[in-house]
């Protein structure tokens, strides 16, 4: 048969093992931390969003009204800024996919502090539940508040598995076409006031 010798493992082999055991948790914390994505794709998305923030001059200062939120929840370019803002500030409570963690699930049709789409921007700005949801208005650019609210509104109906539904079921968001029929243009509004 085969005769085995009881030779010790080479020292360099042992140190390689110890080094990999020390390196593994550091690597895991650095690259898989839920608060700060560090992959090349995540860094690209962050740089892309930062570039879009420079373009805020193109859209001016946004208001968190129904028409603005519906418009921007259907605009992929600006929705990306909202997504990055969500990934940066909101995943620790709402989860990476907004499926809920300590905060509520944002992908279903049930909401605690929201009755209309514009209430999302209000909750982001002012916070809720006596500070459980922090007020982000003082910390974010007003456009970031509106764009993250539009992003959160766009997630509704995905019904991802996560935290069970909380709050009350609310009516669907308006569609962009519905708003153009019901909301008069500034010229029409001026003509009605004059007439």
pLDDT at residue 189 greater than cutoff 60: no
37-51, 65-79, 154-168: which range is least confident on average? 37-51
Could you tell me the CA-to-CA distances from 14 to 18, 22, 52 in Å, in that order?
Answer: 6, 13, 50
How much is the pLDDT for 151? 92
Binning pLDDT at 50, 70 and 90, where does residue 37 land?
low
Q: Model-level pTM? A: 0.65
pLDDT at residue 57 greater than cutoff 50: yes
In DSSP notation, the chain reads: -PPP--PPPPHHHHHHHHHHHHHHHHHHHHHH-TTS--SHHHHHHHHHHHHHHHTHHHH-SPP--HHHHHHHTT-HHHHHHHHHHHHHHTHHHH-TTSS-SSSPPSSSSEESS-SSTHHHHHHHHH-BGGGTB---TTTS-HHHHHHHHHHHHHHTT---SSSPP-SEE-PPPPPHHHHHHHSPPHHHHHHHHH-
Reference 107, options 46, 145, 161, 172; nearest CA is 161
Query: For residues 45 and 16, which has the higher predicted lDDT (pLDDT)?
Result: 16
How much is the pLDDT for 180? 55
Mean per-residue pLDDT for 113-119?
Answer: 88
CATH architecture assigned to 41-173: Orthogonal Bundle (1.10)
pLDDT tens digit sequence for 119-160: 888 999 988 877 788 899 888 888 889 999 999 999 888 777
What does pLDDT average to over the chain?
A: 81
pLDDT at residue 109 greater than cutoff 60: yes
Domain-wise residue ranges, the chain: 41-173
Residue 95: HSE in the Cβ half-sphere, 13 Å Cα cutoff: 16
DSSP state of 133: B
Residue 36: HSE in the Cβ half-sphere, 13 Å Cα cutoff: 5
Query: For residues 182 and 57, which has the higher predicted lDDT (pLDDT)?
Result: 57
């Amino acid at each position: 048969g085969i005769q085995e010798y009881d030779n010790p493992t080479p020292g360099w082999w042992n140190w390689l093992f110890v080094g990999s055991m020390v390196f593994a948790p550091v690597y895991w914390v650095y690259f898989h931390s839920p608060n700060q994505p560090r992959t090349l794709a995540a860094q690209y998305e962050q740089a892309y969003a930062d570039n879009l923030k420079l373009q805020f001059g193109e859209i001016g200062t946004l208001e968190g009204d129904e028409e603005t939120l519906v418009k921007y929840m259907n605009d992929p370019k600006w929705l990306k800024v909202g997504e990055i803002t969500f990934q940066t500030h909101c995943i620790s409570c709402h989860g990476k996919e907004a499926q809920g963690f300590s905060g509520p699930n944002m992908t279903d049709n049930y909401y605690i502090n929201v009755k209309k789409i514009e209430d999302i921007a209000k909750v982001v700005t002012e916070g809720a539940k006596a500070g459980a949801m922090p007020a982000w208005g003082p910390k974010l650019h007003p456009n970031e508040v509106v764009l993250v609210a539009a992003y959160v509104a766009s997630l509704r109906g995905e019904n991802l598995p996560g935290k069970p539904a909380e709050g009350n079921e609310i009516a669907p968001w308006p569609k962009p076409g519905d708003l153009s029929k019901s909301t008069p243009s500034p010229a029409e509004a001026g003509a009605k006031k004059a007439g």
